[in-house]
Amino acid sequence: MTFWWFWAPPPVIEEARPEDLAALADLHDRSFAVGWGADELVALARQSGVFILQARRANVMGSQAALGFVIVRKAADEAEILTIAVDPRQRRRGVGAQLMRAAISRLYADRVKALFLEVDAANAAAVTLYRSLGFRTVGTRKGYYQDSDGDGGALVMRIDLA
């Protein structure tokens, strides 16, 4: 027997609008020890080559509050993930993977050749996600994260898109 009223449709991935940035800053603050404020997100969104994708739960009345978001910056034929945040109550449900796949798909369509990111080496869930998407470690940075659960080391990861 299926209980259809418990079924939730997959999140909708869409471009963040300027009016969404304050809520995304709040989400970032709930996701990290040191969050980024709305002014910082606005400044990033205004930069050339930057795009912000957000995941929202779809419903008949329209999209609801953001479940997560990713900020990407493109430069020439390379790009980097500046941050990805998923609402702590929505983690382990595939939201981060959907956001990353959407960003990768957009970058692939834009003919970007490589995507980079930095991740706390102690963040096992994130490292596992990135590896499952095809990222590989290409370097390390010691003491990069001050608020790490580990030694603060960062992994520099890369995926080739072309």
**Where do the domains of the chain lie?**
9-160
Cβ count within 10 A of residue 8: 10
pLDDT of 1 higher than 60: no
Residue 22 falls in which region: left (phi positive, over 0), alpha (psi -120 to 50) or beta: alpha
Would you place residue 15 in the very low, low, confident or very high pLDDT band (cuts 50, 70, 90)? Answer: very high
**Domain range 9-160, its CATH number among 1.10.150.650, 3.40.630.30, 3.30.70.360, 2.102.10.10:** 3.40.630.30
Instruction: Express each pLDDT in 31-74 by its tens digit.
Output: 888 889 999 999 999 999 999 999 998 766 655 789 999 999 99
This prediction has a pTM of 0.89
Residues 98, 55: contact at Cβ < 8 Å? yes
Q: What was the pLDDT predicted at 57? A: 83
